[in-house]
Amino acid sequence: MIPQKIIDEFVKRMQDAGGTNVESIILFGSAVSGDFHPGLSNLNLFCVLRDASFEALRALGPAAKWWDGQKEPPPLCMTRLELERTVDVFTIELLDMQRHHRVLFGEDVLKDLRIPMDLHRVQVEYELREKLVLLRQHVLLASESESRLWDLLQHSVSSLLTLFRHALITLGAEAPATRREAVQVLAQRLDFDASVFLRVLDVREKKDHAKKMDARDLASRYLAAVEKVAAAVDAA
C-alpha cells in the first residue's frame, strides 16, 4: 500500500540536490502508524537541514517540484536548532512524529526529543476549542443542507480524530495508533457514540454511502461528542 519506490526516489533526489546540507529525512504520519489509505492519505516527510535559507531551499527546488508532481505535500523543513526550540509549541505534531516515524536517511533526530506534556495538554485543549468554534460557524450555514453537512463532517473528521488520540494521552490513557481504535477507546471512557465518527470515516473512505444516513442526526451527535471531549480535556 505504501508507494516505497517514489519515497526512495525522492530521498535520492534530495541527497543529489542538497548534498551535505541534508542532515536527515524522515517519513511520519499514517504511512508509518498503519492508518494509510491510498487516494486519501498523504506521504508526510520531514527534512532536517543544516541551512534553511532561501538559497538553500532554492537548491532543493527540483526535488520538491518532482515530489509535488507525485501529488504529495512539500516536506517540512527545519534546522536541528529550530527542531529543539519548537518542542514547546508543536507538542502535538512532534509527539505524533516521535511515536510514529521511519528514518529514510541520516540520523534519528526525533527519538530523544523531550516534549513538555503540560504544554501538550494546553495545545490539545486550544485546538479542540478552536475546532469546536469553527464547527459551529459552519453548522450555522450548513444545517439545512445534507451535502454541506457531509462536506463539513468529512473535511473535519481526520484532524478531530488526531486530537481525540491526543485527548486520550492528556487523560493519562494509552492512545492507539489508528483513528478508529482511538475514537472507540475515548468514547468508552467519556460515554459518547463512537459510531458517528466511524460512519463518517466509512463514507470518506468510500466503504459506505452517505445517502444511507441522516446527515443532520450524525452532525448533531458529532458536535455533542466534540463538546464532551473538549470539556474533559479542560478538566484534566
Domain boundaries, the chain: 4-106, 117-235
Model pLDDT for residues 46-82, shown as the tens digit of each residue: 999 999 999 999 999 999 999 999 999 999 999 999 9
| 39 pLDDT more than 90 | no
The pTM is what? 0.90
Model pLDDT for residues 156-165, shown as the tens digit of each residue: 999 999 999 9
Is CATH 3.40.50.720 the right assignment for the domain spanning 4-106?
Answer: no
Residue 92: is it exposed, middle or buried by C-beta count within 10 angstroms (0-12/13-18/19+)? buried
What does R_g of the chain's alpha carbons equal in angstroms? 19
Choose among 227, 7, 22, 32: nearest CA to 131.
227
Q: Are 218 and 153 in contact (CB under 8 A)?
A: yes
Q: Side chain identity at 42, as an amino acid letter?
A: N
Mean per-residue pLDDT for 203-223?
Answer: 95
Residues above pLDDT 90, as percent of the chain: 95
Confidence of residue 177 (pLDDT cuts 50, 70, 90): confident
Model pLDDT for residues 111-130, shown as the tens digit of each residue: 999 999 999 999 999 999 99
| 1 pLDDT more than 90 | no
**Summary mean pLDDT of the chain:** 96
